[in-house]
C-alpha cells in the first residue's frame, strides 16, 4: 500500500478486532496487510483509549504554540511514551510530536511557531499618502479659525493643481503643432 494512503474506518476496525481477539500478532498482521507496525500500534492504542470513535480519525486540528508547549512539557516530564502522548492529545501521528520536540529542543519556544506557507502580508500605510498637517494651524486656535485656514490652504492647492494641469496641456499642444 502507498505511504500516504488514507485508511477507512472499517479497515482499521477489522485489523484492531483481529488484534484484540488474538488471531494474529502486530508484526504478522502488518506484514500481511503491507502496513507499518507503528500504524497498527497507534490504531490499537486509539481504540483502547477512545473506542471506535478513535478509529474514525483524528481531527485535523492546528495546535497553538501554548498547546504545543504544554504537550511537550508533559511528554518530557511524564512517563508517557511518544505514542501514548499522541493518543491522549489526539495528535494525528507520533512523528508530529517528535518534530515539535526537536524544534523545541533546538530553538526553544519560538521554534514551535508554524513556518509553512507564504508569510502573511503586513498591513502597511501607503507611502504616497497626502500630508495631513496644514501649515499655519496652531493648537491654540479656535475650531472656526482652523477650518478657515484649512479652506484657504485647500483652495490654494486646488488653484496650483489647475495651473499645473493647464501648463502640461499647453506643452502638449505645442508638441502637436509642427
Burial of 91 per CB tally in 10 Å (0-12, 13-18, 19+): buried
Between CA 166 and CA 19 the distance in angstroms is 89
Are 16 and 48 contained in the same domain? Answer: yes
Q: 96 Cβ partners below 8 Å, 6+ apart?
A: 86
**110-116 contacts at long range (C-beta below 8 A, 24 or more positions apart):** 112/65, 112/68, 112/69, 112/72, 113/65, 114/62
In a domain, 1, yes or no: yes
CA distance 103 to 40: 27
- Domain membership flag for residue 121: no
Domain count, the chain: 3
125 is a domain residue: no
- Residue-level pLDDT at 2: 42
pLDDT for 26-76, tens place per residue?
888 888 888 888 888 888 888 888 888 887 766 667 888 888 888 988 888
Contact 97, 71 (CB under 8 A): yes
How many Å from the N-terminal Cα to the C-terminal Cα in the chain?
80
Residues 44 and 74 occupy one common structural domain:
no
126 versus 157: which is more confidently predicted? 157
Supply the CATH number for residue 17's domain.
1.10.10
Classify residue 2: in a domain, yes or no.
yes
Q: 99 lies in which domain range?
A: 61-114
Q: Which of 64, 148, 119, 58 is nearest to 94 (CA)?
A: 58
Residue 80 has pLDDT above 90, yes or no: no
Which of 30, 57, 84 delimits the end of a domain? 57
Decide if 101 contacts 89 (C-beta within 8 A). no
Q: How far apart are CA 37 and CA 27, in angstroms?
A: 6
Mean pLDDT of 80-92: 85
Per-residue pLDDT, 90: 83
Residue with cell 507520533: 94
Q: Which residue, among 5, 15, 71, has the nearest Cα to 43 in the 3D structure?
A: 15
Which pLDDT value is given to residue 52?
Answer: 82
Q: What pLDDT was estimated at residue 178?
A: 64
The confidence score (pLDDT) of residue 38 equals 85
Amino acid at each position: 500500500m502507498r505511504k500516504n494512503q488514507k485508511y477507512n474506518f472499517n479497515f482499521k476496525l477489522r485489523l484492531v478486532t483481529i488484534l484484540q481477539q488474538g488471531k494474529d500478532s502486530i508484526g504478522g498482521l502488518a506484514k500481511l496487510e503491507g502496513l507499518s507496525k507503528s500504524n497498527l500500534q497507534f490504531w490499537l492504542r486509539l481504540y483502547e483509549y477512545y473506542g471506535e470513535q478513535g478509529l474514525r480519525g483524528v481531527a485535523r486540528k492546528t495546535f497553538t504554540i501554548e498547546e504545543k508547549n504544554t504537550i511537550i512539557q508533559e511528554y518530557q516530564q511524564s512517563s508517557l511514551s511518544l505514542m501514548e502522548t499522541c493518543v491522549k492529545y489526539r495528535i494525528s501521528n507520533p512523528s508530529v510530536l517528535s518534530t515539535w520536540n526537536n524544534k523545541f529542543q533546538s530553538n526553544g519556544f519560538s521554534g514551535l511557531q508554524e513556518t509553512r506557507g507564504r508569510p502573511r502580508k503586513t498591513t502597511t500605510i501607503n507611502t504616497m499618502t497626502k500630508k495631513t498637517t496644514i501649515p499655519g494651524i496652531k493648537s491654540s486656535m479656535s475650531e472656526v479659525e482652523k477650518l478657515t485656514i484649512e479652506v484657504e490652504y485647500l483652495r490654494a492647492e486646488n488653484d496650483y493643481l489647475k495651473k499645473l494641469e493647464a501648463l502640461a496641456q499647453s506643452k502638449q499642444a505645442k508638441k502637436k503643432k509642427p
